[in-house]
Amino acid sequence: MPAELVCCLAPIGSDSPNRNAGDLSRPGLDFGRSGVIMLGRFLCALLLVVIIAITGTRLEKQNRELSRQISLQHRRAQVLKREYAQVRLRAQRLGAPARILDRVESTDSPPAELKPGSSR
């Protein structure tokens, strides 16, 4: 068995051959070089997961904001279309008397809607 493994498997009260007299660390906490590397890998993986989660959260927030802006623009476009239709209808109604007068003046007989006795 390797000496590192023997040190980690030794009971707490026993003296391991690899310990110095001034070393106060517990035998179960002696990771060795491979343990430090594994700990570093674990911390890097954990950091990577946290970065991915934060990035995903930011992207979701940005996506929600963009969809809110798009729906707001759709609503504004609908309102503008409705207002355009109302203004166009009003312009047609205001322009109608002038067109009727132009037709009356250009022809000898009045239009059908202005003839007496027409049912309208």
Whether residue 39 is found in the same domain as residue 19: no
Q: How many helices (H) and strands (E) does the chain have?
A: 2, 0
φ/ψ of residue 22, rounded to 5: -90, 0
Under the banding of pLDDT at 50, 70 and 90, the label for residue 100 is confident
Domain count, the chain: 2
The pLDDT, as a whole number, for residue 34 is 86
Look-up: residue for tokens 């109608």?
A: 96
Q: Model confidence over 44-85: pLDDT tens digits?
A: 999 999 999 999 999 999 999 999 999 999 999 999 999 999
Q: Give yes or no for residue 39 having a pLDDT over 50.
A: yes
Would you give the DSSP letter of residue 114?
Answer: G
Contact indicator for 27, 15 with CB cutoff of 8 Å: no
Q: With respect to residue 37, please indicate whether it lies within any of the assigned structural domains.
A: yes
> Is residue 45 located within the same domain as residue 26?
no
In contact, 6 and 20? CB cutoff 8 Å? no
pLDDT band at 120 (very low <50, low <70, confident <90, very high): very low
- Provide the domain limits for residue 97: 32-108
* 74, 92: one domain: yes
